[in-house]
Copies of this chain bind each other. A is one copy, B any other.
Amino acid sequence: MSPQGADLATQRGTARQQRFASVVRAGSRVTPERARSHNRVLVLQELYRSEGLSRADLARAVGLTRVTISDLVADLIEDGLVIELGLRSDARPGKPATLLDINRKGFAVIALDLSYDNLFRGVVTDLDGTVLHREHADVTGITGTDAVDAVAALLDRLVAAAKAPVLGVGVGSPGIVDDAGTVLSAPNLGWADVPLQAALAERSELPVLVANDANAAALAERTFGGAHEDAILVRVGRGVGAGLIVGGRLVRGAHSAAGELGHVVVGTDGGDICACGKTGCLETWLAIPRLQARLEAAADADTRRAALAAAGERLGISLAPVVGALNLGEVVLSGPLDLLDGSLLESAAETIRSRTMADSHGGPAVRMTTLGRDIVVLGAAVMVLTGQLGVF
CB pair B232 A325 closer than 8 Å:
yes
Bound together, the chains give a CA A319 to CA B322 distance in angstroms of 8
Q: Which of B26, B261, B325, B330 contacts A242 (CB 8 A)?
A: B325
* A247 contacts the other chain (CB 8 A): yes
Residue of B nearest to A318 (CB): B321
0/1 interface trace, chain A 228-270, chain B, CB 8 Å (1 if under) = 1110100000000010101101011111111111111111110
CB pair A260 B324 closer than 8 Å:
yes
Bound together, the chains give a CA A232 to CA B27 distance in angstroms of 23
* A188 contacts the other chain (CB 8 A): no
* A328 contacts the other chain (CB 8 A): yes
CB pair B356 A263 closer than 8 Å:
yes
Report A84 CB to chain B, min CB distance, Å: 23
CB pair B326 A253 closer than 8 Å:
yes
Q: Which residues of the other chain, B, contact A255 by a CB distance below 8 angstroms?
A: 327, 329, 359-361
Bound together, the chains give a CA A287 to CA B45 distance in angstroms of 47
CB pair A327 B27 closer than 8 Å:
no
CB pair A254 B364 closer than 8 Å:
yes
Bound together, the chains give a CA A267 to CA B361 distance in angstroms of 24
CB pair B327 A257 closer than 8 Å:
yes
* A64 contacts the other chain (CB 8 A): yes
CB pair B29 A42 closer than 8 Å:
yes
Q: Which residues of the other chain, B, contact A339 by a CB distance below 8 angstroms?
A: none
Bound together, the chains give a CA A369 to CA B27 distance in angstroms of 27
Chain A's interface size range is 35 or more
Residue of B nearest to A280 (CB): B355
Bound together, the chains give a CA A320 to CA B265 distance in angstroms of 8
Q: Which residues of the other chain, B, contact A93 by a CB distance below 8 angstroms?
A: none
Report A37 CB to chain B, min CB distance, Å: 9
CB pair A247 B252 closer than 8 Å:
yes
Bound together, the chains give a CA A360 to CA B357 distance in angstroms of 34
Q: Which residues of the other chain, B, contact A278 by a CB distance below 8 angstroms?
A: 354-355
* Known contacts A26-B24, A253-B230; A264/B324 CB under 8 A: yes
* A119 contacts the other chain (CB 8 A): no
CB pair A29 B39 closer than 8 Å:
yes
* A140 contacts the other chain (CB 8 A): no
Residue of B nearest to A313 (CB): B268
Report A252 CB to chain B, min CB distance, Å: 7
CB pair B258 A327 closer than 8 Å:
yes
**Other A-B pairs, 12, CB within 8 Å; known A252-B327, A258-B327:** A28-B63, A255-B327, A255-B361, A256-B327, A257-B357, A260-B325, A265-B355, A266-B321, A267-B267, A268-B269, A318-B321, A321-B321
Q: Give chain A's interface residues, CB within 8 Å of chain B.
A: 23-24, 26-32, 34-35, 38-39, 42, 45, 62-64, 228-230, 232, 242, 244, 246-247, 249, 251-269, 276, 278, 317-322, 324-330, 354-357, 359-361, 364
